[in-house]
Amino acid sequence: MPIKLLPLNDLIEKLIKVQKHMNRYFFIFLVLVVYESPAQLLSDSLMNRDNYIIYATVYKKGVYKTFEEFKYNDPSIVEDFTFDKNQLWLTDSKTGKNSKIKKNEVWGFSDGARIFVRWRKYNEIVEMGRYCYFKEKGTRVVFGYSMFPLAIIPIPVPYTDELIINFNTGKPFLLSKKLLKEILAIDDPELLTEFMNEKQKKKKLFEYIVKYNDRNTDKIK
């Protein structure tokens, strides 16, 4: 059967029409991709946030090696472990022997009811939110002079550090009046005004972190 050839002009017109249809379908495809992708990303983000430990009703018992494990309530060491005199011990289920868990490999741990974070010691986190708060008490050794006889001697000095962890980044900070004022100036000027009217600001740091967390849940990422 002989093949019928279209005139050149007709062939060009048909090709243009086909191209227009292809462009239209391609445009629709792009719209769907652009529309669906952010929606999916938002859905994934919300699902991830649901797993944040600050929203958990139960803390999984275990040892966190990293801040991310803490953030998502997902300790990587969940075998039997014990905490004794500022030291974590891992118990071998077969032999029953204990082995030390190196401090530099630990971010913190949970006993199922409380959460502890490693600083110089292991300290309980007593406030959870945009900024997680804990306090550490101990003794530092400084060196001073004795007059009789003249010598440099170690002197134990007690300390109390108040610290916060930025839940969005995992970074810890020593809490001070200056730092709190900077946080409030950016996120909550109204609360800053209230804080500035306090007479004993140093004693109010924890109280205002709690207030900030209650008022600024939308700042959690």
Give residue 16's pLDDT.
55
CA distance 72 to 134: 19
Neighbours of 208 (CB within 10 A): 22
pLDDT in tens, the chain (221 residues): 454 555 655 655 655 565 555 555 554 444 444 444 555 544 444 458 899 999 999 999 999 999 999 999 999 999 889 998 789 999 887 888 889 999 999 999 999 999 999 999 999 999 999 999 999 999 988 888 777 677 888 888 999 999 999 999 999 999 999 999 999 999 999 999 999 999 999 999 999 999 999 999 999 99
pTM of this prediction? 0.75
Domain boundaries, the chain: 17-50, 52-118, 121-135+161-221
Distance from chain centroid for Cα 138: 26
Residue 63 region by backbone torsions, left for phi larger than 0, else alpha for psi between -120 and 50, else beta: beta
Q: In the beta sheet, which residues pair with residue 160?
A: 137
Instruction: Specify burial of residue 195 (Cβ count, 10 A radius: 0-12, 13-18, 19+).
Output: buried
